[in-house]
């Protein structure tokens, strides 16, 4: 029989953000969050704990008060769900990787019994953490673990029957359904086997699930990041001149190789997008992060002409020459002058501008500069702002919607445990900005943890849930029509 854990107070993330957690140095605590590690393993003994689900290792918050380094005495599951950990809390000084807090000898709390009240900072009790959940961007299930089964049970009652699934599949097949952010097919494996690592099937699941177009994105800033000996993904240097441009060229070459190998079509203009159907699936070429421009507009036109680039996300893992990112402290105060020039150049060429990962200040300035609709391709809604989160507030969302743009909802299982929950998340965003400004951005094969939509073949189930919540026209818009409207305004006819 396992010995009971020693009593320990519950440490809230608010205490880390304002420094009050320093008083817990060397004390036993419990803390609830999402474990993330630079591994595809199912469990780990070393990880970082963050206050909300991370989309990928590169999107971990870089601020030292937004993560806890964890060294565990036993395996910690990496299944996309929140865990409560018990261990000895440490305030770090002069850490070589820059982190401020660590949990040593950590173990997973095996049950959902509330920890006893203890170390006090605005209420460290279970009730206090639940009350703070909205400020922290934490689902209440993360703060009060016994809420999770009820939520899952409630979602499970919205089961999709075979008849509903068949109707949804027919609905999808007749329309230009679009995923506005994807890395499917393992397109990102640029550095493996000199760019010739095997692809995974993309066209078959698109046909099976009724997806007509995937906005398939390369990533150009990866060479500036590395996995440290402790398993962290961190930007460790500035790129060499021409390095990221060369890396992006390799990424585009790999993407086009996937298109050829799997018999996919290419979307080059709005007419191509409108005509696309899942029976003959297509790819719209995208880039996540404009780092490859390296301060020069020339590579943008080259990527448009030679690589068929039609969708450009301004920022990604690092604050680059275009502006600031949500997961790092601001450097530029939002969008830079060069970032504004890139937006204007995209509009002149016929490239959709994506402001995902950018700070609210960046998005606000981008909306002032842009004369065409913006896209924010993958995020979800939070009702309270907190530093270094990838989620967005209603005010942030409304900036994008006011341009006539679209916000893509993503499906991390830590936020949305199943497709019914994802449909509810889409509905919440629609309540804020209107159904005409909501889309789907799956981040397929880009999420660090499990996804509520792990494969495009499951798209009919999501469509069935949406058809139960929206009109057919609204559902068609969310699953592609809204992005198509943006594309008609931005791309060549």
Q: What is the pLDDT of residue 57?
A: 57
438-450 pLDDT tens trace: 999 999 998 877 8
Task: Provide the 8-state DSSP code for 269.
Answer: S
| pLDDT tier at 465, thresholds 50, 70, 90 | very high
Gap between the Cα atoms of 317 and 125, Å rounded: 35
Its sign, for the CA torsion 12, 18, 22, 23, is: negative
Structure tokens at 344: 């204007």
Contact 445, 185 (CB under 8 A): yes
Gap between the Cα atoms of 241 and 77, Å rounded: 40
> 458 or 39: which carries more pLDDT confidence?
458
Gap between the Cα atoms of 37 and 69, Å rounded: 10
105-156 pLDDT tens trace: 999 998 644 443 333 332 222 223 223 333 333 333 333 223 333 344 344 4
Structure tokens at 119: 């170390």
- Rounded to the nearest integer, the mean pLDDT of the chain is 87
Its sign, for the CA torsion 56, 294, 345, 252, is: negative
Residue 260 buriedness (CB in 10 A; 0-12 / 13-18 / 19+) = exposed
Contact 63, 97 (CB under 8 A): no
Q: What is the pLDDT of residue 383?
A: 81
Structure tokens at 439: 């889309």
Chain centroid, CA 463 distance in Å: 21
Structure tokens at 139: 């689902």
Q: What is the pLDDT of residue 135?
A: 31
Contact 265, 176 (CB under 8 A): no
User: What is the crossing angle of helices 419-433 and 394-402, to 10°?
Assistant: 70
Q: What is the pLDDT of residue 480?
A: 98
For tokens 């994807």, name the residue: 182
Gap between the Cα atoms of 49 and 433, Å rounded: 32
Give the lowest-confidence range in 67-71, 180-184, 208-212, 374-378.
Answer: 67-71
Contact 273, 267 (CB under 8 A): yes
Structure tokens at 278: 């899942």
Q: What is the pLDDT of residue 64?
A: 74
* Cα–Cα distance list, 66 to 102, 190, 230, 322, 384 (Å): 12, 30, 17, 24, 16
**Can you give the C-alpha Rg of the chain in angstroms?**
22
8-58 pLDDT tens trace: 999 999 898 888 999 999 999 999 998 988 666 789 999 889 888 766 555
Res. 91: pLDDT tops 50: yes
Q: What is the pLDDT of residue 66?
A: 80
167-212 pLDDT tens trace: 999 999 999 999 999 999 999 999 888 888 999 999 999 999 999 9
Residue 489: CB atoms within 10 A of its CB come to 16
Reported for 297-304, long-range contacts at CB under 8 A and 24+ positions apart, including other chains, are: 297/341, 297/342, 297/345, 299/245, 299/248, 300/342, 300/345, 300/346, 300/349, 300/351, 301/345, 301/349, 303/248, 303/252, 304/349, 304/350, 304/351
215-270 pLDDT tens trace: 999 999 988 876 554 444 556 788 999 999 999 999 999 999 999 999 999 999 99
> 143 or 307: which carries more pLDDT confidence?
307
Strands 282-288 and 309-313: parallel
Gap between the Cα atoms of 237 and 239, Å rounded: 6
pTM of the model: 0.82
CA angle 380, 173, 307 (to 5 degrees): 65
Give the mean pLDDT of 96-112: 85
Residue spans of alpha helices (H) in 403-481: 419-433, 459-467, 472-476
| pLDDT tier at 60, thresholds 50, 70, 90 | low
Query: First and final CA of the chain: distance in angstroms?
Result: 69
Spell 115-146 as b/e; 16+ CB within 10 A means b: beebbebebbbbebbbebbebbbbbebbbbbe
Give the lowest-confidence range in 291-300, 332-341, 383-392, 473-482.
Answer: 383-392
User: What is the crossing angle of helices 394-402 and 360-369, to 10°?
Assistant: 20
Q: What is the pLDDT of residue 448?
A: 73
Residue 379: CB atoms within 10 A of its CB come to 26
Q: What is the pLDDT of residue 224?
A: 85
Res. 358: pLDDT tops 70: yes
């Amino acid at each position: 029989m396992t010995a009971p854990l020693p009593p320990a107070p519950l440490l809230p993330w608010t205490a880390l953000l304002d420094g009050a957690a320093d008083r817990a140095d060397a004390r036993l605590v419990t803390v609830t969050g999402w474990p993330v590690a630079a591994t595809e393993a199912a469990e780990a003994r070393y990880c970082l704990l963050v206050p909300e689900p991370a989309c990928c290792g590169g999107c971990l918050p870089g601020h030292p008060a937004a993560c806890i380094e964890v060294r565990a005495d036993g395996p910690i599951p990496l299944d996309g769900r929140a865990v409560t950990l018990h261990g000895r809390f440490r305030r770090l000084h002069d850490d070589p990787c820059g982190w401020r807090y660590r949990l040593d000898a950590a173990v997973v709390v095996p049950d959902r019994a509330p920890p006893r009240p203890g170390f006090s900072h605005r209420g460290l009790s279970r009730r206090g953490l639940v009350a703070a959940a909205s400020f922290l961007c934490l689902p209440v299930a993360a703060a009060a673990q016994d809420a999770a089964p009820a939520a899952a049970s409630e979602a499970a009652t919205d089961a999709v029957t075979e008849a509903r699934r068949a109707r949804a599949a027919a609905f999808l097949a007749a329309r230009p359904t679009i995923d506005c952010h994807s890395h499917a097919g393992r397109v990102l494996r640029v550095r493996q086997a000199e760019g010739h690592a095997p692809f995974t099937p993309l066209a078959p699941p698109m046909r099976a699930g009724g997806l007509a177009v995937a906005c398939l994105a390369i990533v150009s800033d990866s060479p500036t990041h590395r996995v440290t000996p402790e398993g962290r993904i961190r930007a460790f240097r500035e790129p060499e001149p021409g390095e990221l441009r060369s890396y992006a060229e390799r990424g585009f070459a790999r993407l086009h190789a996937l298109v050829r190998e799997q018999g996919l079509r290419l979307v080059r203009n709005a007419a191509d997008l409108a005509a696309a159907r899942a029976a003959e699936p297509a790819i719209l070429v995208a880039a996540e992060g404009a780092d490859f421009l390296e301060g020069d507009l020339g590579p943008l036109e080259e990527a448009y002409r030679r690589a068929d680039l039609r969708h450009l996300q301004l920022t990604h893992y690092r604050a680059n020459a275009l502006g600031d990112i949500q997961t790092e402290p601001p450097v530029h105060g939002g969008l830079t002058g060069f970032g504004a020039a890139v937006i204007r150049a995209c509009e002149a060429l016929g490239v959709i501008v994506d402001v995902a990962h950018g700070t609210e200040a960046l998005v606000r300035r981008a909306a002032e500069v842009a004369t065409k609709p913006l896209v924010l391709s993958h995020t979800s809604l939070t009702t309270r702002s907190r530093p270094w989160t990838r989620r967005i507030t209603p005010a942030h969302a409304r900036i994008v919607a006011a341009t006539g743009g679209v916000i893509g909802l993503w499906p991390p299982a830590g936020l949305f445990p199943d497709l019914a929950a994802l449909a509810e998340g889409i509905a919440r965003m629609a309540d804020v900005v209107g159904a005409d400004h909501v889309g789907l951005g799956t981040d397929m094969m880009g999420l660090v943890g499990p996804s509520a939509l792990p494969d495009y073949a499951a798209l009919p189930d999501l469509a069935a849930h949406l058809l139960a919540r929206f009109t057919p026209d609204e559902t068609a818009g969310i699953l592609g029509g809204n992005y198509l409207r943006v594309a008609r305004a931005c791309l060549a006819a």
